[in-house]
Amino acid sequence: MVRKDDIKLIDAVVKAAGLTKEQRKLPHRAISGEQLSYREILEEAKAIQRDFPGKR
Amino acid sequence: MQAAEFAAAEIKVSLVGRKCWYAYTSVGNTFQVALGRKIPRGAEDLKARAGLAARREARGAVETPADAEFDRFTGESNLLVWCSWRLDQGGSPLTSWDDQAGRAEAGVRGLVGRTVKAVTVGPGWNLQVEFTGDVMLLVFPDHVGPQASFDGNWELWRPDQAYLVGTDLTCEVIDRENRPMQLQPRQGRWRLEDEAK
């Protein structure tokens, strides 16, 4: 996959999950070194949002 | 002094003289490095990262002791790069965002143990970070406009606030509760936008 397409994928997940700029750092770390699908990354983002709520 | 100039000066001060103790790459060879003192993370952050690490372990992802340490501590300064970048050593390219993932990861992890010697923030928030060992990190904010690949370019996170270079090539300053801040030029400090009105 073209690397910018990978970045577009995480951008789409961040927007779909409604993550803040603080929250979006966590899926970046969470999926490091892994090849996950859009759905898997979205699930990860939702779990992070659940554990790390509020304005952050 | 204008807000952009002030932010650039603070970014430099937040990086120069600080040693990199953790670095990793992620999706699309984007990366983050942690520099300076190791600061314990807050309870919410710790909880979220414990869950994150457990899910990674369940998926069989490789976790190193350094990864675990980063989940307990944040850097005095953390540089997170979403846009294009290149690493040079001795004036020759080492790797870049467009390289094979393994080579990009090795290059970025090679920053661990190096100290920032100098920082230049150029037009368009181009960033040059010179590390010891004649290693130069060049960051090019190329995510611009409404259809950008990602809603941001590079970010510097400190314990109190963050500097975010956006797709309009301006630098937004926010506190750690995601609230925008505004420079008070006379006082030479940032205040929450809501309080500044």
Q: Could you report the predicted ipTM of this complex, rounded to two decimals?
A: 0.92
CB contact (8 A) between residue A11 and residue B70? no
Cβ-based neighbour number of residue A18 at 10 Å: 10
CA A37 to chain centre: 11
Q: To probe the interface with B, which of A1, A2, A3 has the most B CB atoms within 10 Å? A: A3
Reported residue count of chain A is: 56
CB-CB contact of B119 with B25 (8 Å): no
CB-CB contact of B156 with B78 (8 Å): yes
Closest residue on chain B to A19 (Cα): B178
Listed in sequence order, the DSSP H helices in B16-157 are 43-59, 65-72, 101-109
pLDDT at A35: 87
pTM: 0.95
For residue B7, the number of C-alpha atoms closer than 13 Å in the C-beta half-sphere is 23
Closest residue on chain B to A53 (Cα): B44
Residue type, B118: A
Tell me the C-alpha distance between B78 and B159, whole Å.
9
Pick from A3, A31, A47: CB nearest B51: A47
Chain B: closest CA distance from residue A50 (Å): 8
Judge residue B147's burial from the number of C-beta atoms within 10 Å of its C-beta, 0-12 exposed, 13-18 middle, 19 or more buried.
exposed
Q: Which residues pair with B159 in a beta bridge?
A: none
CB-CB contact of B68 with B61 (8 Å): no
Q: Taking residues B149-154, report their average pLDDT.
A: 97
- Give pLDDT tens digits for B17-62: 999 999 999 999 999 999 999 999 999 899 999 999 999 999 999 8
CB-CB contact of A39 with B32 (8 Å): no
Q: Taking residues B57-76, report their average pLDDT.
A: 94
pLDDT at B197: 66
Residue B32's H or E segment, with its range, is strand B31-40
- What is the C-alpha end-to-end distance of chain A, expressed in Å? 31
